Amino acid sequence: MRGIEEMSVLCRELHSSDASEQRLNTAVESFARGILIHMKDTLDQPSQQVIEYLYEANTRLPDLHSASLALSLALSLCFYATKSPDDYERVMGHIDKIIASLSPVGSPSETLNLREHLSQAAGFAVLRDAYYSNPEHLEEAISRTRAYLGFVPIEDTEHRKVIQSLAQLVRRRAKEFGDTDVPKQKKSLTDEIFI
């Protein structure tokens, strides 16, 4: 982690120099990939210095996908470690910003990127609901899981898993909090999932 912190200082210095955009992109790309590899292997929570630089890199180089992923991973590790509502808001704010910037009918890589971030958002919402179960958190988990399901092709093996997860959330809502928005006539679980 000390090496990653040193890299963040060097990249920050490169930002303030007269380095070409290509050289800066290459350096930040290498830094971000290093973070992704290190943090995925160790699950170490990054320092505040690294997170601050990742925010800076994302602001200055918004199209650099690896820097965005590195920030998502860094913020998610903070949330996993602290289970703090503030850390949840930080990671979801970052993910929502990325989701808003992507077009659902863009290039295949952009659509895949959108799907990846919708999956992350659903996963974090479900995790927060598990930590702090209340009706609002459960509704957000259901909503974000539905949004993700809309980008998972039916033939994909993930589709069935997402439907099962969504069905569990909907059943839990009915069991724990009642179904205030269900009309008198009984709906099937399938109807409820896709509402």
Per residue in 36-70, pLDDT tens?
888 777 777 888 888 999 998 888 888 888 888 88
3-state helix, strand, coil in the chain (%, to 5): 75, 0, 25
Domain boundary among 64, 82, 100: 82
Burial of 48 (0-12, 13-18, 19+ CB in 10 A): exposed
Do 68 and 14 lie in one domain? The reply is yes
Which residues constitute the domain of residue 45?
1-82
Burial 102-140 (b: 16+ CB within 10 A, else e): beeeeeeeeeebbbbbbbbbbbbbbbbbeeeeeeebbbb
* Residue 148 in domain: yes
pTM across the whole model = 0.76
Residue 179's pLDDT band, with cuts at 50, 70 and 90, is low
Q: How confident is the model over 4-17, as a mean pLDDT?
A: 85
Q: Could you say which of 54, 82, 110 is where a domain stops?
A: 82
Write down which residue in 28, 59, 82 finishes a domain: 82
